[in-house]
Structure 1
Amino acid sequence: MQENELIPATLPPRDKELRARVKLFGNLLGSVLKRLEGRRVLAAVETLRKGYIALRKQDDPERRARLMAFIDKQDARTLELIIRAFSTYFSLANIAEEDFLYRERRRQVSEGGPLWVGSFDHTLREFHAQGVPADKLQSLLDQLAYIPVFTAHPTEARRRTVMEAQRRVFLAADRLNDRRIGREEREELTRELETRVQVLWRTNEVRVKKPQVQDEIKYGLFYFEESLFQAVPITYRLLEKALRRTYGADESGNPRIRVPSFLRFGSWIGGDRDGNPYVTPAITELACRLAMAQVLSEYLRRVSALRHELTHSTFMCQPSEAFLESLERDSTIASAVFQGGSDRFETEPYRRKLYIMRYRIAETLGTVRRRLKGENAVLPASSAYATAADLHADLCLIRDSLISHGDANVAAGNLTDLIRMVETFGFHLFRLDVRQESTVHNRAVAEILRVAGLHDDYEALDEEARLNLLARLTEADELPKVKAKDLSDEARDTVEVFHVMGRMRTEVGPEGIGTYVISMTHAASHVMEVMFMARLAGLSGRDEDGKPFCHVRVSPLFETIEDLRHVEQVLEALLVQPAYKRLLEAAGNLQDVMLGYSDSCKDGGIVASSWNLYEAQKRIIRITGENGVKCRLFHGRGGTIGRGGGPTHESILAQPPGTVHGQIKFTEQGEVLSYKYSNVETAVYELSMGATGLMKTSRCLIDTPPTDRRDYMGILDELAALGEEVYRDLTDRTEGVLDYFYEVTPVQEIGQLNIGSRPSHRRKADRSKSSIRAIPWVFGWAQSRHTLPAWYGIGSALESWRRNDPSRLAKLQTMYNEWPFFRALLSNCQMALTKADMRTAEEYAKLCHDPQLARRVFALIREEYERTVQQVLNVAGTQTLLDENPTLALSLMRRNPYLDPLNHIQITLLRRHRALHERTDEVETDPWIRPLLRSINAIAAGMRNTG
């Protein structure tokens, strides 16, 4: 298999390097196929590859018919091997591109000039040139908090085992980049690379069983072990280097501007119970303990390594008094550490200290492991580390002591990296958020009040009465007496979650539990219901001095278009509630508010969703500001454009001016995790790009922020209304459109793909837009090459607003060039339009049982697609999609001729699979389901998107 011949011959020299690497991977894969599967399979793959490349160059109905006939002749086993061949090719092409981009960045660094836009170097040079003084920059950095939150949303089709195999291919290929190696060594490395490709081929990329939540927890932890434990310290080092270069250094070579610890990580995996009955209170405990065990294991490894590095002798240097005093305090456990030889390393004090620290970490880790086994283990207070702060203090003592006797450069190495890690990860690794849907709380509170004899029909109360009752109960001295056995299973589990939160705060540290997110928040009482249950679990109340305390932070989640429009009335009612204000102040006076991108887009279309989210953010910041409350926005973004995705740096820059106050929190879902964090090199790049986007948008903390132009906002009001109307005309008001969706996309079969523990539908057997979750909604349209959620309605909105008026087009072009929000919206739209393919989508449309319905619905979609392409190109002032992003354009161009055969194979398989199931329910006898599920994986890999 080789890279296709559609790539222009006049490429920049460095893209030819990438092309050569993709060609090498293709040749190695071809060699493996020929050896292991035989010439016939390789010939079939080549027939389809070359045939569809030719069709991309020039359409030929006869050739197309011959290729479809060729696919129809293949048996299930051969189709499965063909699909796997193309899928593996995509994996290898993705690796080649990732490695190439990393090499390009490395080349820019070696040349010594300004680096890429979004790098720390480029950003700080920009700040310096704009006259940002050192003291203001320090103030800005001190207020930063960059918080990616990993979720188990089922949009990652790859197995962890496959990702590990791909990582080994990446590392083997990277060694080939060394120009110093000779011919024989290069040949040896190429043979090793072929072996790695062979192992990848032999590894099953489809999960045999549906993952349990425990598997998803371990999957999320994989990224910390594989890349983030290395990437985080490197990211801080890059920022320090850029600060030294731009703002200068002190006499010790340290940047004059201090770099605070601003990276934090969150997770929903094991805490997100919205629609997932398998996330139990016990699972939440498991998630916290596994995370703690993972980070402690890393600290143990690093402290062990430092023992062999910090071998300073007291004959050569004099440690600080504070350090020596700490060693003296450790003497109580020295005999246990050194097993009788308590005078060991007396002349090598740092080694001695590190041995003791290693012992204490191991004691803490041992306690966690016993708890994971179900034991009621108590932390040995005299020997273990009780908190991350204790470990951090010991590390800082060593650092300060080294600096005191002239070894600052030694302290600045691996020791400082470990200090950064402890500051970032603590003992908790990540802050585990908890999420549940508002109606669950509503039912639980009603049941508790009824059982306690406090109110017989809470659900019958109006909003004001509910708020008054809940406010009274959250501040009452005496709590309702309710026994767990008197509650239903649902209510008992709902309350138990809060008790688990309390226990885990004690075990892993106060930061171990993050935000309690309430899905479908429609009223202020939905927040107060959670505060009431937190009070029952002892997470809020008054301390011994009578001062209020609150150990839970609640985040209302606004998801639908309607919710976004009503955000004001909910927040205003909540923030003027005296009881809530007191609890919020006790918790730090910071209000988290989460915005849902996926459901709002599924609900009202991309233009209405994007604009209502933009406007909602401004209203939220205004309301919280008027009430004297700090606010942190939490963005529930997915990977695809239809779920709020897009490049992180540009997405952050596109936020409304003045709404990002140094902190940003956002979900990282499914395939996004693997693309960003599977490799150390890419993880460093992504963290840096996100951090600089945050620095730029948080300039409002040190400067007067710009304001949006009123005329631009007025135009977007109109475009959003126009786009929503067109989108709803299709999805809500076109008869049969949901039947079309279910029949022409593999959405029903996606439910059989074992990619997540959570059900794909809220209700069974319900063909409604409200029933299907946003992820399969986007996933299905993407597989069938419609990509509809990411662009439908934009073309009509632009065309209708323009009215063929040249001055109006000029206005839109100016908006595109001047306004980051509008530019990001249309740039992301171009990406989605490029991934769409109407010719292929039309083939999928033939799967619809009602040909007349298919023709009618597809005609609407194709017409809007063509309109959107034309209108977006007119506004962008370009000739073709992605003219302004040639790297991405080339990447997608490389993939299309390989996606074409996969899509047509999938259409054949869907037809055969469904025809078989119309005759029988015997799933075990279906030979087509395995290759069909593999085709879903393969297309997802090729498009680099699922849901």
Structure 2
Amino acid sequence: MKNLVKDKPLRRRVKLFGKLVGKVLRARAHGQVYATVEELRKGYIQLRKTPDSVKQHKLERMITLLSPEVLSEVIRAFNIYFSLTNIADELFKHQSRREQVHKGGALWEESFDATFREFIKAGLSPQDIQSLFDNLLYTPVFTAHPTELRRRTLMLALRRVFLATEKLDQRGLSWVEHAELEAALEAELHILWKTDEVRLRQMHVEDEISNGLNYFRESLFTAVPLAYRAAERTIKRLYNDTNQTPVVVPSFLRFGSWIGGDRDGNPFVKPATTVKALRLQKVEILREYERQLYDLSDIITHSKSFCQPSQALLESIEQDAGLLARNNLYTYSEHIFEIYRRKLSMMRIRIKNNLEATEARLNNALTGMVIADKERIGYTNEAEFLADLQLIYQSLLSHDDQAVADGALKDLIRSVETFGFYLMKLDIRQESTRHTEAVTELLTAQNIDYNSLSENARLALLIQLLQTEQALLTNNTRWSELTAETLEVFQIVHDMRQEISPDAFGSYVISMTHSASHVLEVLLLAQQYKLVDKNGGYCYIGVSPLFETIDDLNHIEHVLSTLFTQPFYRQLLRASGNTQEVMLGYSDSCKDGGIITSSWLLHEAQKKITALAEANQLACRLFHGRGGAVGRGGGPTYEAIISQPAGTVHGQIKFTEQGEVLAYKYSNPETAMYELTVGAAGLLKASSVLMHKHKSVDSRYIEIMNYLAKQGEKQYRLLTDHTEGFMPFFYDATPVAEIGLMNIGSRPARRRSDNPSKYSIRAIPWVFGWSQARYTLPAWFGLGTALEKFCDKDVDNLAKLQKMYVEFPFFKSLLSNIQMSLFKTEMDIARRYADLCSDKRQAEKIFAMIEAEYVRSEQYLLQVANISELVADNPSLQLSIERRLPYIDPLNAIQVYLLGQYRQTTASGNAEEAKRWFDPLIRSINAISAGMRNTG
């Protein structure tokens, strides 16, 4: 199957990168580095083809003879190669898609084109398509989880390499032009070699905020309008050439963020941090609007001598001119006949005043009176700004200039509809016990013993307090530090809704939601700050319970049905759009009970949530807490969306974009536009089942999955919860402890620093550590035993699984993602990490359990998928991974050696020597992450 992949341009590009990296190494690196890299590269490629223990030992021996300084440069060389390979891969896919578009005809499966053609074939009318679009809301939520190791400086350098490489593929280049472009690319690689890929100081939340904003500045401000254009272009080609009412594509994209709002377990996210995040976001989008208005004024240069603008536009210009003249900000002589330029110039002045006021608040640079003056001159809100843009749009239409109106102006309108004045809706996340503790403290001051109450008594009391709007903050009680901080967040939500935008916030996410009272506690606290009305007339805070553990997933029905039977809670939902958002945690549920149980319970939970919402005449939006790795809910977005349970996707979806996924999806506008269209197309397709009766899942498949989940969880817990010495093995046999020392994130790796248990360590370092050591255990452990036990029950059961793989999208998607992780797993390499364990006997026992389960999982997965080798049904992915593996292998060998040296020198108390070994060690973590890609 591999030879079916036409990847000759990709191989040519990878070969060029390899040649240029070699030139850079010979010119810039330590004398030994180039020769060492070449010997390791060639040696491990040969080992992949023909295993040879003698040759492998020789290569590992060579590694031990190198100094830490030389090893650092060797690792950096491999890291740069991976970064370049990733660029080559991304660019090849982009160019392949572009070539497909140029050829005409149907496009790739995940495209708008293929989706709408499928709709036409299914008999959906333009009215049906309009209905789907009208309900469409696609919301990626950016988070700051620390598996994205790349510095912003490095990302910008890689973007330049991407652009320089793209130029090399221009048609008709002379040999002189080609040579000059190749020289320019080589120069970028010299810069890359001189740029440190490792952060020299610990990341702060402010750094994470800045990194998140960078994706908009460098990519998404370009990609978002292009995504809308792609939808409109496809609709026009396939639907609007008829005499029927044309389909109008609304602005269906919104972005969310947790960066600066996620305080669960992060002591560095303070109330002031949230304020700063919101102001930085507003500054970023206002600067973009100012830039686009400036560009538009050079495009829409119509003179009044040759066209007649609308009366409404002329009147708005006079209003703006009066406002600005009263503040000495505008002269009437400028663009007196170029009406549109005049309007756009005044709009830019107003936006600039909004910007200056926000910057002044951010930097404490001006007095409140001056800021108020600027805000009075600026726009009151995004709706007012949007209305001005629509005035210009309609005026252009009035004198037959639709082609002009639908250009850069419409792109700006799309941006305002998508980003508002807030850029991203900031979610607030906090752990449930913090609210319980705050409510307990407030009620203690009222002589109410909240702690002693049962759940039913708590619910009754909370509803009573909400309906009477009892003031709990009127006394002079000094609250504890944590309670005071919890309360201050609600004050900030109140204040920032007024300062930034009423839409500045997304959801208030309650992690570790165990009961209905956890939701009502948040509402009670919010009510103290005028965010909730006692009569249920308004609710300015949307509460999203997050169900994370296996136990929580099993209790979703009880918690939600309890809430939905509370009339006052239903009133609040109606006041805020009649929509209940529920967040599902993929990471912690997988860490808790394993991939099979987690995935299946999440699948079933969605059905239960949707059914409950429908029974109560409520809309429901599911918020998926997905990570980058399969063990944290990762995998291709399109497949993830269309494999959701039929009937559970109602036009809206929200999901976290975490870790390295952000860089892979959104660093370049070309890829970002593709990812946004793929996600939206998948959402349309998943929602289209509402247009017709969908086929229910075969009840036998549900029974099979229940059995597999039970057996998979049992095996997973046997290892992770009931095997003596397992957690010490994890800390010894992976670099997880060393990952915690890196400057890659602001949040601690464990919920409690003094607790090394599975339940204390966060899901990200849990997955990251196993991935680095090539176990990738969270993504597959338990599968083999589950499949084996089911097949052993009956001789026909394998055939049943094979049929289910073909007919049940959820099962196929699950096994496809697990396949990828198994393909990246290397037990021979993992064994070398296990050799680092201090308890050799116990380590051998644990490793044997892991290895046996790996063998079982691979064996049965191949049989069920009816393939001869892993990922054989996805040859392009198979080739992509295979290209990387021979280059990751030597890095793992180096990392094992570095871990041994670092731990030994640290234990001996030789801090200076330990520091020498730590530098190449953290670089090895960076490099393996770049090679493995979806690691966390």
Mapped pair 1:48 → 2:40? yes
- 8 Å CA contact 1:273–1:280 kept in 2: the answer is yes
C-alpha separation in 2, matches of 1:290 and 1:231: 21
Mapped pair 1:870 → 2:859? yes
Secondary structure of residue in 1 paired with 2:796: helix
Structure 1 partner of 2:439 = 445
Mapped pair 1:280 → 2:247? no
Alignment of 1:452-851 (within 5 A): 453-455=446-448, 457-482=449-474, 486-541=478-533, 548-803=537-792, 805-851=794-840
Mapped pair 1:267 → 2:257? yes
Structure 1 residue 195: Cα displacement: 0.7
Code of the aligned partner of 1:342: Y
Q: Structure 1 residue aligned with 2:878, among 874, 885, 889?
A: 889
C-alpha separation in 2, matches of 1:686 and 1:547: 40
Single out whichever of 325-334 and 29-38 deviates more from structure 2.
325-334
C-alpha separation in 1, matches of 2:785 and 2:925: 31
- 8 Å CA contact 2:716–2:781 kept in 1: the answer is yes
Deviations 1:435-482 (A, max 9, x none): 00001111111111112x241x21111101111111111121441244
Code of the aligned partner of 1:271: G
Structure 2 partner of 1:3 = none
- 8 Å CA contact 2:588–2:763 kept in 1: the answer is yes
Alignment of 1:156-195 (within 5 A): 156-195=148-187
Single out whichever of 473-482 and 646-655 deviates more from structure 2.
473-482
Gaps of 5+ in 2: none
Mapped pair 1:930 → 2:887? no
C-alpha separation in 2, matches of 1:238 and 1:454: 61
Structure 1 residue 393: Cα displacement: 0.6
Alignment of 1:238-253 (within 5 A): 238-249=230-241
C-alpha separation in 1, matches of 2:467 and 2:311: 49
Structure 1 residue 490: Cα displacement: 0.5
C-alpha separation in 1, matches of 2:198 and 2:407: 42
TM-score normalised over the length of structure 1 = 0.97
Single out whichever of 765-774 and 137-146 deviates more from structure 2.
765-774
Structure 1 residue 926: Cα displacement: 2.7
C-alpha separation in 1, matches of 2:581 and 2:306: 53
Structure 1 partner of 2:419 = 425
Aligned-pair identity in percent equals 52
Code of the aligned partner of 1:313: S
Code of the aligned partner of 2:54: E
Deviations 1:826-871 (A, max 9, x none): 0000000011001101111101112211211111111111111110
Structure 2 partner of 1:98 = 90
C-alpha separation in 1, matches of 2:326 and 2:607: 59
Mapped pair 1:325 → 2:315? yes
C-alpha separation in 1, matches of 2:208 and 2:81: 26
Structure 2 partner of 1:256 = 246
Calculate the aligned-residue CA RMSD, in Å: 1.6
Check 1:248–1:477 CA distance in 2 against 1; reply closer, same or farther (3 A cut): closer
- 8 Å CA contact 2:442–2:473 kept in 1: the answer is no
C-alpha separation in 1, matches of 2:697 and 2:17: 48
Structure 1 residue 39: Cα displacement: 4.1
Secondary structure of residue in 2 paired with 1:511: coil
C-alpha separation in 2, matches of 1:921 and 1:285: 43
Check 1:215–1:731 CA distance in 2 against 1; reply closer, same or farther (3 A cut): same
Q: Structure 2 residue aligned with 1:231, among 197, 201, 223?
A: 223
- 8 Å CA contact 2:309–2:396 kept in 1: the answer is yes
C-alpha separation in 2, matches of 1:96 and 1:813: 36
Mapped pair 1:313 → 2:303? yes
C-alpha separation in 2, matches of 1:863 and 1:169: 44
C-alpha separation in 2, matches of 1:685 and 1:13: 21
Secondary structure of residue in 2 paired with 1:556: strand
- 8 Å CA contact 1:140–1:699 kept in 2: the answer is yes
Structure 1 partner of 2:899 = 910
Q: Structure 2 residue aligned with 1:24, among 13, 16, 31?
A: 16
Check 1:580–1:69 CA distance in 2 against 1; reply closer, same or farther (3 A cut): same
C-alpha separation in 2, matches of 1:266 and 1:205: 28
Structure 1 partner of 2:201 = 209
Structure 1 partner of 2:383 = 389
- 8 Å CA contact 1:247–1:255 kept in 2: the answer is no
Secondary structure of residue in 2 paired with 1:432: strand
Single out whichever of 124-133 and 920-929 deviates more from structure 2.
920-929
Secondary structure of residue in 2 paired with 1:667: strand
Structure 1 residue 819: Cα displacement: 1.1
Structure 1 residue 923: Cα displacement: 6.0
TM-score normalised over the length of structure 2 = 0.98
Single out whichever of 897-906 and 621-630 deviates more from structure 2.
621-630
Code of the aligned partner of 2:203: P
Structure 1 residue 484: Cα displacement: 7.1
Secondary structure of residue in 1 paired with 2:612: helix
C-alpha separation in 2, matches of 1:896 and 1:657: 37
Structure 1 partner of 2:869 = 880
- 8 Å CA contact 2:862–2:870 kept in 1: the answer is yes
Deviations 1:680-716 (A, max 9, x none): 0000110011001100111133222331111111110
Secondary structure of residue in 2 paired with 1:557: strand
Code of the aligned partner of 2:425: R
Deviations 1:132-178 (A, max 9, x none): 11101101110000000000112211111111110000000000010
Alignment of 1:365-384 (within 5 A): 365-374=355-364, 375=366, 376=368, 377-378=371-372, 380=374, 382-384=376-378
Code of the aligned partner of 2:432: S
Single out whichever of 68-77 and 763-772 deviates more from structure 2.
763-772
C-alpha separation in 2, matches of 1:557 and 1:139: 30
Structure 1 residue 250: Cα displacement: 7.4
The count of corresponding residues between Structure 1 and Structure 2 is: 932
C-alpha separation in 2, matches of 1:338 and 1:396: 27
- 8 Å CA contact 2:426–2:506 kept in 1: the answer is yes
Structure 1 residue 378: Cα displacement: 2.1
Q: Structure 1 residue aligned with 2:341, among 328, 339, 351?
A: 351
Mapped pair 1:406 → 2:400? yes
Structure 1 residue 330: Cα displacement: 1.7
- 8 Å CA contact 1:154–1:670 kept in 2: the answer is yes
- 8 Å CA contact 2:324–2:377 kept in 1: the answer is no
- 8 Å CA contact 2:905–2:913 kept in 1: the answer is no
Secondary structure of residue in 2 paired with 1:433: strand
C-alpha separation in 2, matches of 1:658 and 1:246: 26
Secondary structure of residue in 1 paired with 2:344: helix
Secondary structure of residue in 1 paired with 2:654: strand
C-alpha separation in 2, matches of 1:500 and 1:680: 34
Structure 1 residue 800: Cα displacement: 0.7
Q: Structure 2 residue aligned with 1:860, among 849, 854, 864?
A: 849
Code of the aligned partner of 1:140: L
Code of the aligned partner of 1:439: T
C-alpha separation in 1, matches of 2:108 and 2:717: 41
- 8 Å CA contact 1:334–1:342 kept in 2: the answer is no
C-alpha separation in 1, matches of 2:237 and 2:178: 37
Structure 1 residue 334: Cα displacement: 4.5
Structure 2 partner of 1:4 = none
Q: Structure 2 residue aligned with 1:88, among 80, 87, 106?
A: 80
Secondary structure of residue in 1 paired with 2:131: helix
Structure 1 partner of 2:100 = 108
- 8 Å CA contact 2:422–2:503 kept in 1: the answer is yes
Check 1:389–1:711 CA distance in 2 against 1; reply closer, same or farther (3 A cut): same
C-alpha separation in 2, matches of 1:548 and 1:207: 50
C-alpha separation in 1, matches of 2:530 and 2:691: 39
C-alpha separation in 2, matches of 1:819 and 1:806: 21
- 8 Å CA contact 1:140–1:701 kept in 2: the answer is no
Code of the aligned partner of 1:506: Q
C-alpha separation in 1, matches of 2:726 and 2:470: 55
Check 1:756–1:923 CA distance in 2 against 1; reply closer, same or farther (3 A cut): farther
C-alpha separation in 1, matches of 2:8 and 2:536: 67
Secondary structure of residue in 1 paired with 2:299: coil
- 8 Å CA contact 2:138–2:254 kept in 1: the answer is yes
